[in-house]
Amino acid sequence: MSHPLEIRETLQKAALFQEFTAVELDEFLDLLDPITVQPGECIVRQDDMGDSMYLIVRGKARVVHHRDGRDVELATLKSGDFFGELALVDHGLRSADVEAVDECTMLQVSQASISALAGVYPSAAFKFLIAIGRMMVERLRQSNRRYIDSLLISAQVPKSE
């Protein structure tokens, strides 16, 4: 199966695949099916069970958390970004909605596709999981910085007497 040039070129530039060889990338792409969603369509819904992650090949999506009747936009994702990776670890509930901003082409990655890749190219599966881990750590570090900054800002606010 040949892959559209756009998908391959986009993923070659993505951080998740920087260490992949061309053969490893092609093998992985053979295991994934492209999905297209329309603007406004919800790709994953907060509090639904998750079992896969998604790689955005084309388009933009926004991540929105809902709580107490309020919507908080957490991120805007673009070509080369991914989301839903926690579902590969625990099959837990989704922590936010992800909605297409415009038409999006994505690739769905399940545990089965990673296991299949590991059967043929174990080093590629390892590279993929390590890259996800690195990016998750970076996201956690950013969240920690924001949290600490918010604590410092609230500590600086003078208390009224």
Q: What is the tally of structural domains in the chain?
A: 1
Residue numbers of the domain that contains 83? 5-156
Per-residue pLDDT at 2: 39
| 55 CB-near residues (< 8 Å, 6+ apart) | 11, 14, 16, 32, 81, 82, 106, 107, 109
CATH number at residue 18: 2.60.120.10
- Continuous H helices in the chain: 5-13, 22-30, 87-90, 111-120, 122-156
Per-residue pLDDT at 1: 35
Q: What is the pLDDT along the chain (161 residues), one digit of tens a residue?
A: 335 777 888 898 888 999 999 999 999 999 998 999 999 999 999 999 999 999 999 999 999 999 999 999 999 999 999 999 988 888 889 999 999 999 999 999 999 999 999 999 999 999 999 999 998 899 889 888 888 888 888 777 666 65
161 falls within a domain = no
Per-residue pLDDT at 143: 84
For the beta carbon of residue 121, count every other beta carbon within 10 angstroms: 19
- H or E segment at 104? strand 104-110
